Structures are given as structure tokens and as C-alpha cells.
Amino acid sequence: MKQLALVFLGGGIGSMLRYIISKTLNPYFQHFFLGTFLVNILGCLLIGIIIGLSLKTSILSQNQTLLLATGFCGGFTTFSTFALEKHSLLRDGELLHFSFYTLSSIAVGILAVVFGLWISRLF
């Protein structure tokens, strides 16, 4: 139960921060969502640092890693997890799986948004 609370707390903080950054920066650039872009890149950097520290040192406990990586980065951006998973596939030499998963995630994700928008018109 403690682990769920840590993920909940970290996710809530990450989500609020993502909202603030996106709302602040996105309106300044037409056709480029600077806030969202920065959140995604920063989330990738943060999850790399957090996972790297948790694997190589004892600076972060398992609960701190859960709070920060799964909770905060997960709430801040799911792109960070996506990028970490892609790194794992590349590290393991799984170029075909990397390519398929990356391209299908992007293509199917966009199609899912389009389909969701189409479904919403039915109501």
C-alpha cells in the first residue's frame, strides 16, 4: 500500500508540473508545443538519471526510485518510460523489435487519437 501511495504522490506532482509548464509555454509557439516537448525531453533526462543512480549506487532507495521514476516521471510524461524501454531494446541489440515497437507506437497512438476523436462525435 505504501508503494501505491508513493506512485500516487509522485504522479500527482508530475502531472501538475506538466500542466503548468505546458500551459505556460505552449501558447507562445504556433505549430510547436514547446512546453510539451520540453517536458518530454526533461522527463527522459530525469528517468535516465534516476534509473542510472538506482542501478549504480545506493543513493536512492527502492521507494525513492518508485516515487521519482514510476510516480513523478510517469505523471510528468509517459514519453520518458517509452524512451527508457527503447533504450533497453537497443542495448540488447533488438533493432528489429526497437524499430517495430517505436514505429507502431507512434502510428497506432496517432490513429487511436483520431479514432477517439471520431468516436466522440457520436455522442
The span from the CA of 123 to the CA of 34, in Å, is: 32
Ranges of each domain in the chain = 2-77
Q: Is the pTM of this model over 0.85?
A: no
The span from the CA of 73 to the CA of 80, in Å, is: 7
Q: What is the pLDDT of residues 4-37, one digit of tens each?
A: 999 999 999 999 999 999 999 989 887 788 998 9
∠ Cα 16 17 21 (to 5°): 120
Q: What is the pLDDT of residues 82-91, one digit of tens each?
A: 898 899 899 9
